[in-house]
Amino acid sequence: MNNKEFISSYGLFATLVVTVIGVNVFSYPSELANLVGGDGWLVIFLSGVIVYTLIYFICKVEKKNDYSHTYEILKSRFGKVIGILVALSLIWYSIFFISMGLRVFTEEIKLYLLEKTPTEFIFVVTILAGTYLVRGEIDNLIKFNEISFWLMFIPVILVLVLSVYDADFTNILPILNSPPNNYVKGTIAGVNRFAGFQILLLIIPFLKDKKNVAKVAFKSMLFITVFYAAVFILVVSVFGKNQTKILLWPVITMIKYINIPGSFIERWEGIIMSIWVIFYFTTFTNHYYFAADLLKKVLKLKDIKLSSAIIVPFIYLIALYPNNVAEVYSLGTRYGNIFFLINLIIIPVVLLLMPSPRKGGGKNPE
């Protein structure tokens, strides 16, 4: 793509939201309930504050380096060899994240929509569809995010509002009733549910209004935090803390049992799962594009088409590796926290603490 600034503030807002919120929100209430009971909403807001701090660091790093491409920043700050290794680490994290998400997404789709469809077939269709969108360059990806935002959240919020009919909000009480170390574990898990904000490294150089990036990012994180908290409160209010702990995907179960007198819709979860295809696909394609774009720079390729093709077998094989959903969550917990710490905390902080580069050292995105 030619060097130009074309992404609006809304494009940034929509991209951040649809990249961060994915299919893992289905299991998030159960995970938090097991750690902190009904105080999950407190942990979510604390996690949101921490993540926004990390986002602010990324914004400062970009500004400090004249809004250059991520690879150019890494190469100029760490040197060519270490810069390539750091870039590969970022690429690997994105591939691992979407691969684990692909397996969870596939299992959910098979359970609620396509029961007899082979896992491998769903993998191939999703990956090929994502590859097609990624090959269309970043301007098409941003437009897709802007449209998807409304398609995703208007119907989902309407359906969640219907869940209030069976909710008992006293189920979240009492508050602050868990051991302190559980809040620490919950916050670590919560911060990981905001993974995807590294997409800022990709889109900030293309923003029209770079001065307000931190403000727009704050609005995005506020929306995501409130959405996560609302979903958690609704689930616990409907099922109670103990029941929420034992449900694998409590959000889907909650929607499944919506019972509105006189309603002509019998299977609400089918509607939500149809919409949730977009939820995962936006997360998938944005992470995918980020990894492919960075790999293109590392390998010095002319365009993103070849780098996106190179990534395809890695996504497929990693997603196929776990034997079941429990193993997916185990791998995600075991390695996801480490990858998150290295790529989204340590690297941005180190870049921020490094001395400012000499003027004229940065390169604009291509």
Q: Would the pLDDT of 7 be above 70?
A: yes
Q: What is the per-residue pLDDT for 211?
A: 86
Q: What is the per-residue pLDDT for 268?
A: 61
Q: What is the mean pLDDT of the chain?
A: 85
User: Lowest-pLDDT range, 125-134, 158-167, 192-201, 224-233?
Assistant: 158-167
Tokens 């609704």 appear where?
234
Q: Would the pLDDT of 263 be above 70?
A: no
Note whether 23 and 280 are within 8 A (CB). Answer: yes
* Mean pLDDT confidence for 14-24: 87
Q: What is the per-residue pLDDT for 105?
A: 85
Q: What is the per-residue pLDDT for 241?
A: 87
Nearest alpha carbon to residue 308 among 7, 2, 102, 95: 95
Axis-axis angle for helices 268-299, 137-163 (nearest 10): 150
DSSP label at residue 178:
S
Nearest alpha carbon to residue 236 among 182, 167, 179, 186: 167
Q: Would the pLDDT of 275 be above 80?
A: no
Q: How large a percentage of the chain has pLDDT more than 70?
A: 91
* Mean pLDDT confidence for 302-324: 90
Q: How large a percentage of the chain has pLDDT more than 90?
A: 33
The gap from C-alpha 148 to its chain's centroid, in whole angstroms, comes to: 14
* Mean pLDDT confidence for 135-146: 89
Look up the pTM and report it.
0.88
Query: CA dist 133 to 70, 139, 140, 145, 335, Å?
Result: 21, 10, 8, 11, 28
Q: What is the per-residue pLDDT for 96?
A: 93
Q: How far apart are CA 165 and CA 287, in angstroms?
A: 36
Q: Would the pLDDT of 358 be above 60?
A: no
* Mean pLDDT confidence for 195-214: 88
Q: Would the pLDDT of 276 be above 50?
A: yes
* Res. 1 pLDDT band, cuts 50 70 90: very low
The per-residue pLDDT for range 53-79, each reduced to its tens digit, is 999 999 999 888 888 888 999 998 888
Q: What is the per-residue pLDDT for 261?
A: 55
| Contacts of 332 by beta carbon, 8 Å cutoff, 6+ apart | 100
Q: How far apart are CA 187 and CA 42, in angstroms?
A: 9
* Res. 2 pLDDT band, cuts 50 70 90: very low
What is the rounded end-to-end Cα distance, in angstroms, of the chain?
6
Query: CA dist 175 to 39, 86, 182, 312, Å?
Result: 6, 41, 13, 46
Note whether 189 and 8 are within 8 A (CB). Answer: no
Q: What is the per-residue pLDDT for 334?
A: 80
